[in-house]
């Protein structure tokens, strides 16, 4: 159910953002709205776990989902009036809503599954969620197939996204609270007494002194930082309008494949949970580095630092001219899925209690969003794409040894407990 909610709301939002510039020819309004979004998200991502502990899943999720509809509506308005104020304000509002939604999602995804199947449940969620991006990519591809490259996406594209997002808000009311969930092995989720404001404020402040959370900061910062480069400077810069929609279908489809693969590795590759974490992080580090090497080769060839971009690529183009950048963008989707699933698995391995994990995942989303806010302004200020690529590569590379340290020091091998739960 939480996968379906995110299919309709963040999934469609991802498809909208993935077109580059929110589907607009001029990226300025989108970049500024996304900066406002992720600035607010950085605050309410951290606070979201505490809010979830106070309000519970229904109010938290419904309030969060509703803001996605408003945000998309602002671009429908922008299509006609070209005033970016509404887009920027709605972006800030969505930042609040996204903080609530993702804190609730993180608490549900990491605390509801059995402890020895968290990777599997994360991959199931990630697959359903990213199907939203696949369907969302199909919408602009079909509705803008014959539109010129100089045009923004049509009104119908935004209306279709808004319909899906409204459905997601309604579906959020069907999510069960932890106290009513019984796992497939017969165990129950932690039954929490919903907290109060003073307790949550104190517990959230403690996170900034928690060594486990501090080790996660570089991974959290980088995990949405690379979106700006991928969406605007690869998909948005190299491909024409209709092809960007098609590319998004494969980008988010690649995420489904990546999440399943890393979920299996994190749950089934070895009996030892600590060893599974070490192998999973090492595998992501190896694949991630290879993908960034491909990105470097592509950027050298298609550098826009001197405004020397070639004619926009179309999916009907034959040969390596289209195939190379297309495969790279597909691999960027794989990288996003395996990287974020890996981080969620590590967070989920630190505890089983819903109340604790809601704060941990809220902290992760808050730091992640602060990084994204900076990244969108980096692009607005015309920082060369090559510089953006190098910074992204460095940030993800720093994350791997820190996460390995966290797994070695903080993740317990509780195989006996897991086997007893399974019985």
* Overall average pLDDT of the 140-150 stretch: 66
Q: Are 11 and 136 in contact (CB under 8 A)?
A: yes
Question: What is the value of pTM for the model shown?
Answer: 0.78
What DSSP state is assigned to residue 209? T
Confidence of residue 166 (pLDDT cuts 50, 70, 90): very high
- 8-state DSSP, 232: I
pLDDT tens sequence across 261-316 = 898 888 887 888 899 999 999 999 999 999 999 999 999 887 644 455 667 888 88
Query: What confidence score (pLDDT) does residue 147 get?
Result: 63
Asked if 14 and 136 count as a contact pair (C-beta separation under 8 A), the reply is: yes
What average pLDDT does the chain have? 85
Residues 6+ apart with CB under 8 A from 359: 49, 50, 53, 200, 203, 204, 207
Q: Residue 346 above 80 pLDDT? A: yes
Region at 376 (left for phi over 0; alpha for psi -120 to 50; beta for the rest):
alpha
Whether 23 contacts 245, CB under 8 Å? no
Backbone angles phi, psi at 182, to 5 degrees: -115, 125
Q: 188 forms bridges with which residues in the sheet? A: 182
Query: Is the CB of residue 34 less than 8 Å from the CB of residue 17?
Result: yes
Domain ranges of the chain: 2-422
Q: Which of 49, 60, 86 is nearest to 359 (CA)?
A: 49
In the CATH hierarchy, which top-level class contains the domain 2-422?
mainly alpha
Chain segment 191-245, per-residue pLDDT in tens = 555 567 788 788 888 989 999 999 999 999 999 899 989 988 898 888 887 788 7
């Amino acid at each position: 159910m939480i996968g379906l909610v995110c299919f309709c709301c963040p999934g469609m939002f991802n498809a909208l953002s993935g077109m580059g510039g929110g589907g607009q020819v001029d990226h300025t309004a989108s970049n500024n709205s996304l900066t406002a979004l992720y600035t607010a998200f950085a605050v309410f991502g951290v606070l979201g776990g505490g809010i979830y502990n106070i309000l519970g899943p229904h109010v938290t999720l419904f309030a969060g989902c509703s803001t996605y509809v408003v945000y998309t509506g602002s671009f429908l308005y922008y299509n006609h009036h070209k005033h970016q104020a509404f887009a920027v304000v709605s972006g800030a509002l969505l930042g609040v809503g996204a903080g609530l939604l993702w804190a609730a999602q993180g608490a549900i995804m990491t605390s509801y599954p059995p402890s020895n199947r968290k990777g599997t449940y994360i991959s199931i969620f990630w697959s359903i969620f990213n199907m939203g991006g696949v369907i969302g990519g199909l919408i602009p591809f079909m509705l803008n197939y014959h539109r010129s490259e100089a045009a923004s996406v049509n009104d119908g594209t935004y209306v279709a996204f808004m319909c899906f997002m409204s459905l997601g808000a309604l579906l959020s009311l069907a999510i069960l609270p932890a106290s009513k969930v019984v796992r497939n092995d017969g165990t129950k989720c932690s039954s929490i007494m919903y907290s109060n404001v003073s307790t949550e404020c104190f517990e959230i402040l403690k996170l900034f002194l928690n060594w486990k959370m501090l080790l996660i900061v570089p991974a959290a910062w980088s995990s949405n930082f690379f979106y700006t480069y991928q969406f605007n400077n690869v998909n948005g810069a190299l491909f024409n309008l209709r092809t960007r929609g098609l590319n998004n279908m494969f980008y988010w489809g690649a995420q489904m494949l990546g999440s399943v693969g890393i979920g299996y590795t994190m749950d089934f590759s070895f009996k030892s949970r600590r060893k599974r974490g070490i192998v999973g992080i090492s595998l992501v580090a190896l694949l991630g580095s290879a993908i960034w090497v491909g990105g470097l080769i592509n950027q050298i060839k298609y550098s826009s630092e001197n405004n020397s971009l070639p004619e926009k690529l179309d999916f009907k183009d034959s040969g390596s001219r289209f195939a190379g950048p297309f495969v790279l963008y597909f691999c960027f989707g794989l990288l996003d899925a395996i990287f974020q699933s890996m981080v969620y698995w590590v967070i989920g391995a630190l505890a089983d209690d819903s109340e604790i994990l809601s704060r941990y995942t809220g902290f992760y989303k808050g730091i992640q969003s602060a990084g994204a806010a900076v990244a969108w302004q980096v692009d607005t200020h015309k920082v060369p794409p090559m510089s953006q690529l190098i910074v992204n590569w460095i940030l993800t590379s720093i994350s791997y040894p820190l996460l390995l340290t966290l797994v070695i020091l903080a993740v317990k091998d509780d195989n006996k407990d897991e086997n007893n739960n399974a019985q």
